[in-house]
Amino acid sequence: MTARQIILGTTAMLPQLGALYDACRAAMQEQGIHQWGPDYPNVETCAYHIEHGTLYALVDGAGTVLGVQVLNTWQPEEYEWVQWSEVPDATYLLIHSLAVHPAHQGTGCAKQLLRFAEAFAQEHGHTGVRLDAYSRNPGSLHLYESQGYACVGAVYFDTKPQPYNWYNCYEKLF
pLDDT in tens, 27-81: 999 999 999 988 899 999 999 999 999 999 999 999 999 999 999 999 999 999 9
Q: Phi, psi at residue 121, to the nearest 5°?
A: -60, -45
Residue 152 is predicted with a pLDDT of: 98
Domains in the chain, please, with CATH?
5-173 (3.40.630.30)
Residue 30 burial by CB count (10 A; 0-12/13-18/19+): exposed, middle or buried? exposed
Residue 151 burial by CB count (10 A; 0-12/13-18/19+): exposed, middle or buried? middle
pLDDT in tens, 76-123: 999 999 999 999 999 999 999 999 999 999 999 999 999 999 999 999
Across the strands, what pairs with 99?
A: 68
Q: Would you call the peptide bond into 38 cis, given omega within 30 degrees of 0 as the criterion?
A: no
| Secondary structure element (H or E) that encloses residue 74, with its range | none
Give, as one character, the DSSP assignment of residue 124. T
